[in-house]
């Protein structure tokens, strides 16, 4: 599924770029104005940078998560709660068919949890101290099952691949725009003037914002899948109860760093157009989806 989605996304973007170029007659405009940009080489360069950054982030995800949240990994259980946590995660991981992840607790009063890692058999699942203190055991188990669902679905890898595609084409299109403006409007025949760098940076910022809606859309979609996985690994009643408990917690400060928000169990509400940049769907929608079966 991850590879199919990756290939399909690449093909779709390539087709779209080709259609836009043809409809706008970009090749003719570039040729008439002496624009000599090597699109194939540019695309390869942008892919190296776009995917390189995403893959580095993926491989460092566990390390960054531990440092960013202050997560304490449970090596040897020090009390009954830690033993229960390890045992529960082990049971869920076995049921989901994934390797035993590292298990940790991060010092936050907010109710949250996250999963990250570069593959299904080398993941990290962590919960906040606040969630452990205030949630019922079956609700904690459902939250853990939700996070194990992310691991089993390969969501971290898929999100990285999608981000790599988005990064590639943001870099690619921004430099084409900057190159075209520099040659056509500023009439630079050799090298690049200030116009290229300013326009490229502005275009990259604008395109990044627009393209990020694709990444956020996938992030929201994967939450429904993780909820369903959590319900399958426990029960729908327990998963719904956990989401309802999270509703009661809304308004509390969230302590996950920005880069880990998409991997948490929930996020603060955003309204209007800002909803396009939500990493999670509204809890009401998630609950209704589970109730509908």
Cα–Cα dist 39/15, whole Å? 15
| Annotated catalytic residue, options 139, 147, 223, 267 | 147
Q: How many angstroms separate the Cα of 141 from the Cα of each of 73, 256, 267? A: 18, 20, 19
Distance CA 243, CA 172 (A): 40
- 94 counts as catalytic: no
**Token pair belonging to 140:** 């904690």
Helix boundaries (H) for the chain: 2-24, 26-32, 39-59, 61-69, 80-96, 129-134, 137-152, 155-180, 194-233, 236-249, 283-291
3-state SS assignment for residue 79 = coil
**Which residues are known to be catalytic?**
147
């Amino acid at each position: 599924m991850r590879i199919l989605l990756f290939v399909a996304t690449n093909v779709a973007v390539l087709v779209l770029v080709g259609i836009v170029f043809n409809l706008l007659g970009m090749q003719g405009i570039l040729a008439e104005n002496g624009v000599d940009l090597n699109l194939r080489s540019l695309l390869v360069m942008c892919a190296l940078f776009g995917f390189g950054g995403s893959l580095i982030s993926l491989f460092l995800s566990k390390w960054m998560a531990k440092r960013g949240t202050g997560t304490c990994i449970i090596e040897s259980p020090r009390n009954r709660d830690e033993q229960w946590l390890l045992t529960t995660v082990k049971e869920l991981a076995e049921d989901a068919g994934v390797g035993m992840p590292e298990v940790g607790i991060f010092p936050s009063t907010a109710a949250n949890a996250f999963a990250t890692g570069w593959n299904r058999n080398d993941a990290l699942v962590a919960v906040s101290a606040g969630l452990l203190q205030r949630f019922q055991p079956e609700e904690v188990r459902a939250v853990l099952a939700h996070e194990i669902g992310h691991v089993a679905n390969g969501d971290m890898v898929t999100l990285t691949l999608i981000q790599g595609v988005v990064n590639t084409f943001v870099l690619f299109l921004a430099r084409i725009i900057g190159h075209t403006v520099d040659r056509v409007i500023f009439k630079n025949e050799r090298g690049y003037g200030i116009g290229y760098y300013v326009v490229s940076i502005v275009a990259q910022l604008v395109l990044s914002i627009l393209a990020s809606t694709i990444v956020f859309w996938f992030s929201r979609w994967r939450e429904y899948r993780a909820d369903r996985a959590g319900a399958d690994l426990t029960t729908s009643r327990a998963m719904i109860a956990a989401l309802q408990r999270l509703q009661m917690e809304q308004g509390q400060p969230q302590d996950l760093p920005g880069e880990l928000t998409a991997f948490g169990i929930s996020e603060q509400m955003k309204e209007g157009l800002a909803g396009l940049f939500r990493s999670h769907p509204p809890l009401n929608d998630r609950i209704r989806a589970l109730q509908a079966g």
